Homo-oligomer: A and B are copies of this chain.
Amino acid sequence: MPAINEGRMGLNSDGEKGDSRRGRETGTLGKLMALVDHVALADGPMRFTDILSLSDQPRGTLHRQLSHLVEEGLLEVDRDGRYLIGIRLLNLASRSWARNEFRAVAEPHLRHLQELTGETVHLGVLRGSEVIYLDKVEGRQSVRMYSQIGNASPAYCTGVGKAALSALDDLDLAGRIAALEFRPYTQHTHRNAARLLADIVEIRVRGYAFDREEHESGICCVAAPIRADDGGMLAGVSVTGPAYRVTSQKLQQWAPLVVAAADSIMTDMRNRLGPKR
């Protein structure tokens, strides 16, 4: 089965602004991180002038900002003076991943779910109106494992994303949906808020979500929401596979397993965090 990632990376993170524009300004940091985003979202290395045209800042200002980012290792310059994302980010991220408690708690359950179903299992957290994949367990180890982890996908057309959205209260949900731009990745992608909301209502009743080729043709999944105790964090777990193998019956059959895995993760989180402190 072809990986669910690689070629699409440039596209899927493009359209939507991952998090609704907060009224708050973070001053200097916000401006700098916006630059990092520009460089991260670009298809390749960017020249000074490329960035200048995207950011509405004067030359002198931009130049110093980029210099600072490079000095801190958040960006790098290649020998042609073009800007790239720096590897310091990789280092920071690997730490954040290795020490992420939620991920560590979930891992055995993901593995178990993978063994039960034989298909790929994903763990993703909701961030704004995107899902960021925190972990992935595949059957036969294919190589491009890391490529999926850390990837962002739109919440409205992925199983994990819709499952997580379904756990939001109406107000919050409405806010995030308002920030969406519905982009037709496949013939089955929801085209508007009404269709998405109808789907989410069903998901709330059922307790689990389906994605039948909504994000990528030929890829289906069933997913269940994971609610954090404090409600601050929402996540989801899913079983994903190619449509020719993962039939509707299979999805139905796996749904209780996925829900059970999600519940186990929630329970473990509560148990681990409760007595700890």
Residues of A at the B interface (CB closer than 8 Å) are 5-6, 9, 13, 19, 22, 24-30, 32-33, 36, 40-41, 43-44, 68-69, 71-74, 78-80, 84-100, 111, 125, 127, 132, 134, 137, 140-143, 145-147, 149-152, 228-230, 232, 273, 277
Q: Known contacts A29-B68, A72-B29: does B95 contact A40 (CB below 8 Å)? A: yes
* Closest B residue to A68 using CB positions: B26
- CB atoms of A91 and B152 under 8 A apart: yes
- CB atoms of B6 and A92 under 8 A apart: no
- With both chains docked as a complex, state the minimum distance between the C-beta of A14 and any C-beta of chain B, in angstroms: 12
Q: Known contacts A68-B27, A98-B6, A149-B146: does B87 contact A90 (CB below 8 Å)? A: no
Q: Known contacts A80-B277, A145-B146: does B97 contact A90 (CB below 8 Å)? A: yes
- With both chains docked as a complex, state the minimum distance between the C-beta of A248 and any C-beta of chain B, in angstroms: 30
Name A96's contact: one of B40, B68, B80, B134 (CB within 8 Å): B40
**How far is A88 from B29 in the complex, measured between Cα atoms in Å?**
14
Question: Which of A89, A91, A132, A140 has the most chain B CB atoms closer than 10 A to its own CB?
Answer: A91
**How far is A143 from B141 in the complex, measured between Cα atoms in Å?**
9
Q: Known contacts A95-B40, A145-B145: does B229 contact A88 (CB below 8 Å)? A: no
Name A99's contact: one of B28, B44, B96, B230 (CB within 8 Å): B44
A92 surroundings in chain B (CB, below 8 A): 36, 40, 85, 89, 93, 150
A74 surroundings in chain B (CB, below 8 A): 33
* Closest B residue to A23 using CB positions: B71
User: What 4 A-B pairs have minimum CB-CB distances, sorted nearest first?
Assistant: A94-B150, A93-B93, A79-B230, A85-B96
Question: Which of A5, A22, A33 has the most chain B CB atoms closer than 10 A to its own CB?
Answer: A33
- CB atoms of B93 and A89 under 8 A apart: yes
Name A24's contact: one of B6, B71, B134 (CB within 8 Å): B71
